[in-house]
Each structure stands twice: as C-alpha cells, then as structure tokens.
Structure 1
C-alpha cells in the first residue's frame, strides 16, 4: 500500500486459490485469494520493511512493517510447498487474469459471503487439506 516493499515475480502461473481457514481470514480480514510463486522467481525490494511471524508450527506470514499490508504466506515445514510463497493477488500491480482453481477449508467459510464459480473448481474441506497436504496437527 505504501510502496516501502516492492517485488518482482517471474514465471507466475495464472492460477489462484482461496483459503477460508480462520488464520487466513484473520490475517486478511476475509478469505485469502493467493497465488503460489516459487521463491527463486521472486525478488523483493525494501526487505528491511518486511516483518514476519511464525504463525503456526509449519508456516509464517509476512507484512510491511510500515503500513501493515500482507505480503506472503510461506510454508516453513518440510512439504511439497517448501520453496514457495503464497502472495495475495491484491499486492500485484495488475491482479487481472488469474483463474481461481480451488477453495480450501471450504467447510470453514462463513455463510456471509460466497465466490462465484465455486461449482467449477475444487472445494477442499479442512480434512481434505490434512489428507492431501499432510498438514501438521490438522490446522
């Protein structure tokens, strides 16, 4: 929001996902709509303004220490997602063109909102995520 942190991402696959877990909802104020990007294809400017919190035993979240904008979610545990960061689509200069392919923790989605097209994408419950991604401690 303030420009103290900027990033460049190369080779971004135009696929996005939505997470409805309680932590993502608290972090973003709603559901996280994010894009998975290999860390090797990211470069960050203003890293002195990036604050991080180990938000669970297996992942951390980062934000701009100047304005509070969420920057990324990163799995820190051994996982198929190690080496990637999940970036909210709202921090891209051009957030157009991403296709939402799944919604995870769908059974935790509040009934106060719904995203169009949920009948055409993969919907995973909390248990589905535990089974598919081997989420430690089930949360």
Structure 2
C-alpha cells in the first residue's frame, strides 16, 4: 500500500478545510472514555504529524481535554477536526474528515481495555491497553 501524497477534507459546513501532506495511511480506533464521549463511539483517526494547513482557522474552537492534548471542532457545525498533541505539535485527524480516504487501512486500537462490550471490530489489529499507551506516548510528570 502506498502512502497518500496528501489528503484534503472539509467540515460539514465547509468553514474549515485541512490539507495534510504527511498522512500515515493507518487508521486506529481509540476506545478511551473521552473519545467515546466526544465522538459518540470509538474515534477512528489517522496520524498527520505537523505537516498540515488549515483554511478557516478562525472557525475552529479548541478544548484542552488533558495536560497533553486538545480537541478541535468547527464552531459553526460541530464537526470534529483534530486531536492535537501539545508537546509534539502532532495532529490526529478523524479518518472520516478526509474526502478520499481510499488508501487507509484499519490496523490498530488503543485503550482496548476501555472498549465497552457492545461493539467489536472484525479486523485483526495491533491492540494496546491504557497502561501501554501511557507508557509509550505520554511523558511522565
């Protein structure tokens, strides 16, 4: 599978557009309580690093959801736009935000120990628990 050169997408109302040039074609599911509350289910997203541009940035509202991350959404239509890691400046974008996600592969899940029993994905994926995620990605304070 080849990595897309770039991906573009807009929010529901078109007030915000993203052009990303470093999209990793791997979709992951986050089952943490915050992502489930934010999206109404697991967050299916792709890592985009920091190589992206926003058009309509004035239409984005960000909520600092933890000491290490913030979540952005369109202040007009409510579309979820990003999960942003403050220390690294990396952005994680919901996979459905992009207009043509044809080269994406669903291959990993995080906070798998927080996933409720009422849904299961059929894909074989790499799975990480909450403790494994914090040990790998979150700086110790």
2:56 paired residue number: 46
Cα deviation for residue 65 of structure 1 reads: 0.2
Matched, 1:70 2:80: yes
Question: 1:113 & 1:31 partners in 2: Cα distance?
Answer: 10
Deviations for 1:89-125, whole angstroms, at most 9, x for unmatched residues? Answer: 11101122211221000010111111111xx321111
Change (3 A) 1:135 1:27: farther
Question: 1:18 & 1:135 partners in 2: Cα distance?
Answer: 21
Matched, 1:37 2:41: no
2:112 paired residue number: 106
Q: TM-score, normalised by structure 2?
A: 0.86
2:7 paired residue number: none
Deviations for 1:5-29, whole angstroms, at most 9, x for unmatched residues? Answer: 0111113221111100001111111
Cα deviation for residue 136 of structure 1 reads: 5.1
Q: Which runs of 5+ in 2 are unaligned?
A: 1-11
2:92 paired residue number: 86
2:38 paired residue number: 27
Q: Which runs of 5+ in 1 are unaligned?
A: none
Contact 1:58–1:136 (Cα < 8 Å) also in 2? no
Greater helix share, 1 or 2? 1
Tell me the number of residue pairs that the alignment of Structure 1 and Structure 2 aligns.
130
Post-superposition, which runs of at least 4 consecutive aligned residues in structure 1 deviate over 6 A? Answer: none
Question: 1:114 & 1:67 partners in 2: Cα distance?
Answer: 29
Cα deviation for residue 76 of structure 1 reads: 1.1
Q: TM-score, normalised by structure 1?
A: 0.87
SS at match of 1:107: helix
Question: 2:138 & 2:66 partners in 1: Cα distance?
Answer: 14
